[in-house]
Amino acid sequence: MSSIRSASEIDDEAADWAARIDARGLDVERDPDLRAWLDGDARRAGALLRAQAAISFLDRGRALAGARPPVEAMIAQRPSRRALIAGTGGAVAAALVGGLGLWAARPQRLDTRLGEIRRVPLADGSLVAINTKTALDVAMKPGSRRIVLKEGEAWFQVAKDPDRPFVVAAGPVRVRAVGTAFSVRRADEAGAGVDVMVTEGVVETWVEGDPGSRRRLSAGSRILLASAASPRVAESPSEIERSLAWRNGEIALDGENLEQAARLFNRYNSRQIVIEDPVLARERFVGLFQTNEPESFAAAVAATLGAAVSDDERTIRIGRAHVS
């Protein structure tokens, strides 16, 4: 069995450690067990930072009353994963800004596995939604906020802080914002470039080493940078909303052909869709589906286009129905 821990498992472990630190006053630098846990995975420092802030926020009433339950009770009553990652939102971020985390100066690694989607509050009050198979590093410093998108796609809702620029780096591409919301995606295919979509406010984009590439994009705009194609700003608010349906765990199709639709579903599922007929692959389709339900998509194609579907543990094959 693999020893690699999932993001949710790391969040749960971080909640336990945060409760122990709060109850026992553990020294993060000197406690050997905690030190070993942190060193075992680059993602753990950021998870501990968020867990400390969540506990502080959720238990502040206890602190004001001067009551301190036993550590066993604190661990048993630790904030749920939803509270740590989603439910506390801006309050968690506010606690982080207050200096509770010992790891604010260290980069955090946030990532997701195949099919996993996360929403994570950042130390500055911003929020990041992380799509499937994505890895990014977060560095919050007194004069800057820097995200390095290693792979995949993320959407950022940026807290306003004019004195600390918020910059996302994706290969040679840079996206800078103050208080806005936008997504950045590094395509899997070599040479496909970096896709930037703005949902709120204004961002500035450029390619390192190319002074003429600097552009400002407003809400509803989209640009593809560092690709074989020439960069062109497109105004497409409705298309952007459909492209970002993954934030709700959905795939929204509005005229994509079946080959494109299959690629979208295959980003989220180990069970891959294969369109066997090239003519059928060009057929266009409309519908709203859950990212983790490729079977529902295949059934809809069969019902709408009269296609034949066969499947096994690894693949869902869609082809032309045989006419007897």
Check which CATH number belongs to the domain holding 296 and give it: 3.55.50.30
- pLDDT band of residue 73 (cuts 50, 70, 90) is very low
The residue from 35, 69, 102 where one domain ends is 102
pLDDT at 70 over 70: no
Sign of CA dihedral 8, 14, 16, 22: negative
Q: What is the identity of the amino acid at 8? A: S
Among 139, 189, 183, residue whose Cα is nearest residue 164: 139
- Domain co-membership, 154 together with 225: yes
Q: Which residues have CB under 8 Å from 105's CB, separation 6+?
A: 140, 141
Q: Please, which residues bridge with residue 261 across strands?
A: none
- Domain co-membership, 194 together with 309: no
Of 30-44, 67-81, 149-163, which range is least confident?
Answer: 67-81
Classify residue 99 as left (phi > 0), alpha (psi -120 to 50) or beta.
left
Q: Using one digit for the tens of pLDDT, what is the confidence trace for 130-160?
A: 999 999 999 998 889 999 999 999 999 999 9
112 vs 16, higher pLDDT? 112
Dump strand ranges (E) for 158-241.
166-170, 173-177, 181-186, 194-200, 202-207, 210-218, 221-225, 234-235
Q: In a 10 Å sphere around its CB, with 0-12 CB exposed, 13-18 middle and 19+ buried, how is residue 295 labelled?
A: middle
- Domain co-membership, 293 together with 309: yes
Q: How many other CB atoms sit within 10 Å of the CB of residue 292?
A: 17
- Domain co-membership, 72 together with 118: no
Domain count, the chain: 3
Q: What is the identity of the amino acid at 42? A: A
Of 35-39, 99-103, 277-281, which range is least confident?
Answer: 99-103
CATH number for the domain harbouring residue 213: 2.60.120.1440
Q: Where are the alpha helices (DSSP H) in the chain?
A: 7-24, 32-39, 44-58, 60-65, 71-76, 81-82, 89-97, 237-243, 258-266, 278-281, 294-305
- Domain co-membership, 241 together with 255: no
The residue from 68, 102, 136 where one domain ends is 102
- Domain co-membership, 121 together with 92: no
Q: What is the mean pLDDT of residues 38-67?
A: 64
Residue 95's pLDDT is: 44
pTM comes to 0.69
Q: 273 is in which domain, residue-wise?
A: 249-320
Q: Are the C-beta atoms of residues 285 and 259 closer than 8 Å to each other?
A: no
Share the mean pLDDT of the chain. Answer: 82
How far is Cα 183 from Cα 52, in angstroms, rounded to an integer? 28
- Domain co-membership, 228 together with 270: no
Structure tokens at 189: 């295919």
- Domain co-membership, 222 together with 174: yes
- Domain co-membership, 97 together with 112: no
pLDDT at 6 over 80: no
Q: How many other CB atoms sit within 10 Å of the CB of residue 13?
A: 18
- Domain co-membership, 14 together with 65: yes
Residue 318's pLDDT is: 97
- Domain co-membership, 242 together with 307: no
Q: What are phi and psi of 289, to 5 degrees?
A: -135, 160
Residue 190's pLDDT is: 65
Question: What is the residue-wise DSSP string for 228-281?
Answer: SSPP--EE-HHHHHHHTGGGGTEEEEEEEEHHHHHHHHHTT-SSEEEE--HHHH
Residue 24's pLDDT is: 64
Among 47, 189, 201, 18, residue whose Cα is nearest residue 118: 47
- Domain co-membership, 127 together with 211: yes
The residue from 223, 247, 271 where one domain ends is 247
